[in-house]
């Protein structure tokens, strides 16, 4: 090399170094794992709030003096607002920016939690729970779409979805444990106040770490008729199934809302084919992997809540576990779910795709539910509960993270919020429907067991309760088994398409 060439090469290297030094660091990339921690914290708060208050209900009822008939509304108010507004806020997050919606949702959740924790009466507590549901509907789609746009490299995205899916699947069990600890050692009000601390940490992290991005020029317009139709339809559906827990299926307050909700959702689907800017473009749902993943989340939500609801009753009422020990009893399932979710998304999903994992996961969960039907009045946790909950955790870990990944892969940036909202809506509505359906079946089984027996006998009552739980577990097993067949037929086989936009970051937040 001549002296001139050496000088030019040195200048070229120097120019490159200067350019690199002058180029601003990419905080979106450098801080991505801290952003995942913030998103995961918000998702944990959303999911655990579906169960954290459950264990505190007896203490709250004693303090505020509301009836057993009113008690369900402390739980239902949250799921009602959450489920009916998810799609609306998913689209709003595409309009105003996911970062902004995320921060607004966190602040709203904190405010609603303060109101609920300080509630002087039943009415204020129900309003606060409904406001928590509204805030959760703001947060959930923004969190998942932020995840899909933050992690754009396939392997890292798989790891992020493994963590997120593990949180989504285990948050309800963590909520039971945390609710038990707070209720037993502090006060039932802290099951609401704890969200303030979580929100403050998440707000600080989001404001610092999540970067601002310029918005797209072709941002979607809000479909107001579609928004009203789907929100009213989901409200009617969730309200009708929630009412079925305390009213007969033949009651107008049950079937009327169910029929009205279904009719509005049919009308909403028709309108989406006519609207110039549809709230939920049918291209989002009709793609096989996304549609199959939405269905998988719906079915898993329906079957999963059978574990939490009836196993909670069994552990506390039959085995006489304390609230804290009941929460601890679910921890093996949480651990199995987290480990399996990580392995499924980082090792198996890139090689095989979602179909075999979701299919096998549902069969494993069905097996765990069927195993749980072996419980009795004299069963022990180690012999009759530990093995089944491990199997259910493994099964759900194989469903949640790959399902969420497949549901949001290949989506256009402008539809990321509404696709993420549809994932959450599927799980939430599935959980509401599954809880009401399984509870109704269990109640009928309990009544049938008591026919011709001494209903006043504590032993007979306990036997009837266990019988009702067994019936619910059999139905949950059937739901998972049917889900394995249906999702196995809908989801596409083969490994994920490397051309999916896992490799291309979205252009706005």
Report pLDDT digits (tens) over 439-449: 778 888 888 89
Q: With H, G, I as helix, E, B as strand and everything else as coil, classify residue 206.
A: helix
Q: Is the pLDDT of residue 263 over 90?
A: yes
Q: Is the pLDDT of residue 247 over 50?
A: yes
Dist. CA 459–CA 290, nearest whole Å: 49
CATH of 31-211+279-503, one of 1.20.58.100, 3.40.50.300, 1.20.1250.20, 1.10.540.10: 1.20.1250.20
Report pLDDT digits (tens) over 15-66: 444 444 444 445 456 678 888 889 888 888 888 887 788 777 778 888 898 8
Dist. CA 315–CA 468, nearest whole Å: 14
In the chain, domain spans: 31-211+279-503, 226-278
Residue of 112, 118, 93 whose CA lies nearest to 103: 93
Residue of 483, 505, 276 whose CA lies nearest to 360: 483
Residue 426: pLDDT band with limits 50, 70, 90: confident
Dihedral over Cα of 365, 370, 374, 376: its sign: positive
∠65-70-75 over CA atoms, to 5°? 110
Report pLDDT digits (tens) over 153-198: 777 777 787 787 778 767 777 887 888 888 888 888 999 999 999 9
């Amino acid at each position: 090399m001549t002296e001139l060439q050496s000088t030019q090469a040195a200048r070229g290297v120097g120019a490159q170094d200067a350019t690199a030094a002058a180029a601003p660091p990419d905080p979106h990339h450098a801080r991505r794992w801290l952003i995942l921690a913030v998103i995961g914290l918000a998702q944990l708060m959303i999911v655990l709030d579906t169960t954290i208050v459950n264990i505190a209900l007896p203490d709250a009822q004693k303090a505020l003096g509301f009836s057993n008939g009113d008690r369900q509304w402390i739980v239902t108010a949250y799921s009602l607002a959450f489920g009916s507004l998810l799609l609306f806020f998913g689209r709003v997050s595409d309009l105003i920016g996911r970062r902004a919606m995320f921060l607004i949702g966190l602040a709203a959740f904190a405010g609603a939690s303060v109101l609920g924790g300080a509630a002087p009466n039943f009415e204020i507590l129900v309003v606060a729970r409904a406001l928590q549901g509204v805030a959760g509907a703001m947060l959930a789609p923004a969190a998942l779409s932020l995840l899909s746009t933050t992690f754009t490299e396939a392997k890292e995205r798989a790891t992020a979805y493994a963590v997120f899916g593990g949180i989504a699947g285990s948050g309800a069990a963590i909520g039971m444990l945390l609710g038990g600890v707070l209720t037993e050692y502090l006060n039932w009000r802290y099951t609401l106040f704890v969200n303030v601390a979580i929100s403050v940490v998440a707000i600080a992290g989001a404001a610092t770490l999540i970067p601002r991005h310029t918005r797209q020029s072709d941002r979607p317009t809000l479909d107001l008729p579609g928004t009203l139709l789907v929100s009213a339809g989901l409200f009617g559906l969730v309200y009708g199934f929630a009412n079925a827990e305390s009213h007969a299926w033949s009651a107008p307050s049950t079937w009327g809302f169910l029929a009205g909700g279904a009719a509005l959702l049919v009308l909403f689907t028709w309108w989406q084919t006519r609207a110039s800017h549809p709230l939920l473009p049918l291209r989002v749902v009709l793609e096989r992997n996304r549609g199959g993943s939405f269905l998988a989340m719906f079915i898993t939500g329906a079957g999963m809540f059978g574990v939490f609801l009836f196993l909670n009753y069994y552990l506390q009422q039959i085995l006489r576990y304390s609230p804290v020990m009941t929460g601890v009893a679910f921890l093996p399932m949480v651990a199995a779910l987290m480990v399996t979710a990580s392995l499924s998304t980082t090792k198996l999903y890139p090689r095989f795709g979602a179909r075999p994992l979701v299919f096998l996961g549902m069969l494993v969960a069905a097996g765990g539910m069927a195993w749980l039907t072996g419980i009795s009045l004299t069963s022990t946790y180690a012999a009759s509960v530990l093995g089944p909950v491990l199997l259910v955790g493994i099964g759900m870990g194989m469903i949640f993270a790959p399902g969420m990944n497949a549901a949001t892969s290949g989506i256009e940036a402008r539809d990321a919020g509404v696709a993420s909202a549809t994932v959450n809506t599927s799980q939430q509505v599935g959980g509401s429907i599954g809880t009401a359906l399984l509870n109704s079946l269990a109640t009928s089984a309990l009544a049938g067991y008591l026919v011709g027996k001494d209903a006043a006998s504590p032993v007979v009552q306990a036997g009837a309760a266990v019988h009702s739980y067994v019936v619910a577990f059999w139905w949950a097993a059937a739901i998972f088994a049917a889900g394995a067949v249906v999702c196995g037929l809908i989801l596409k086989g083969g490994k994920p398409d490397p051309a999916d936009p896992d490799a291309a970051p979205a252009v706005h937040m």
